[in-house]
Amino acid sequence: MARLAFIGLGVMGYPMAGHLAAAGHEVVVYNRTTERAQAWVEQFGQQLAMTPAEAALDCDAVLTCVGNDADVLSVLEGPDGVLATMRPGALLIDHTTASADLARRLAQQCRAAGLGFVDAPVSGGQKGAETGQLTVMCGCDDPATYAEAREIIAAYARACELLGDAGCGQLAKMANQIAIAGVLQGLAEAVNFAQRAGLDIDQLVTVISKGAAGSWQMENRSSTMSRDEFDFGFAVQWMRKDLGIALDEAARNGARLPMTALVDQFYAQVVDRGGQRWDTSSLIHLLHHP
């Protein structure tokens, strides 16, 4: 078993780090909110560090799962960052959904320092993290480094795939979020239409989810959407962050994302209604309450 550092104990990182501990790894954790890290240590009987650099000392691998590009750099660079203390030969796995440019930059920094690097954003939401059923999309310049990372990631993943060189994991996550945005808007319109037509939503979903319209979002969100229940799941503010990254990348590579841009505008309207922490299925609120 390995000695690991896990940086970032949010709704995803907390259970992911827990799966690593349950798999028998020695885990040192750091979180900006110390109280949350202390609660994790009490629950899993592992070690607490007061800085990212302290957490990374003598570790075989460091895993990060924070908010955005700036958050990643804040825990990696500087005298208190993990790069200051990671030993040569160690591995950095970044689970943050961030830009592909950042992943490529980190790959170069790690290569120069004799470290391995994998960008490994995840999909599956809080439930997937808690049940250890995440999908992990990876970018890495070295297949052997990826193979090492995959053995660690297996503790909380049902699927893990190398998509290409550094940055490709992040590009895959962008495609993932683009697809989810379109599905959610279509589902919101379908549920709202069915309600206004007088159909029973649960009965409808039982039927159409078995056909070509079926999706994870339909099976897991249609019922709560019909009741305007959104106090759970993946927050709108984080989806807007992810879609912004995708739109920025599309501006560089020439991809047209008209639906994504439109749905991002709809999410901006949800935020204006105070729904920044609502689940992404809250798109239907705009249709229920125009």
Q: Where are the domains of the chain?
A: 3-164, 171-288
% pLDDT > 70, the chain: 100
Q: What is the DSSP letter of 284?
A: G
179: confidence class by pLDDT, cuts 50, 70, 90: very high
3-state SS of 75-117 is HHCCCCCHHHCCCCCCEEEECCCCCHHHHHHHHHHHHHCCCEE
So what's the pLDDT on residue 72?
A: 98
Same topology between domain 3-164 and domain 171-288: no
Distance CA 289, CA 156 (A): 39
So what's the pLDDT on residue 42?
A: 98
Tens digit of each residue's pLDDT (9 = 90 or more) over 31-75: 999 999 999 999 999 999 999 999 999 999 999 999 999 999 999
180: confidence class by pLDDT, cuts 50, 70, 90: very high
Catalytic positions, written as ranges: 173
Distance CA 148, CA 21 (A): 17
Tens digit of each residue's pLDDT (9 = 90 or more) over 88-140: 999 999 999 999 999 999 999 999 999 999 999 999 999 999 999 999 999 99
More confident residue, 264 or 1: 264
* Bridge partners for 220 per DSSP: none
Q: At CA 238, angle to CA 133 and CA 170, rounded to 5?
A: 65
Topology given in CATH for the domain delimited by 3-164: Rossmann fold (3.40.50)
So what's the pLDDT on residue 5?
A: 98
% pLDDT > 90, the chain: 99
CATH superfamily of 171-288: N-(1-d-carboxylethyl)-l-norvaline Dehydrogenase; domain 2 (1.10.1040.10)
So what's the pLDDT on residue 51?
A: 98
181: confidence class by pLDDT, cuts 50, 70, 90: very high
Q: What is the pLDDT averaged over residues 150-156? A: 98
So what's the pLDDT on residue 141?
A: 98
* Residue 14 near residue 70, CB atoms below 8 Å: no
Mean pLDDT of the chain: 98
Q: Residue 123: name the closest of 69, 172, 61 by CA.
A: 172
Q: What is the pLDDT averaged over residues 5-22? A: 98
So what's the pLDDT on residue 236?
A: 98
Neighbours of 85 (CB within 10 A): 20
Predicted TM-score of the model (pTM): 0.96
So what's the pLDDT on residue 159?
A: 98
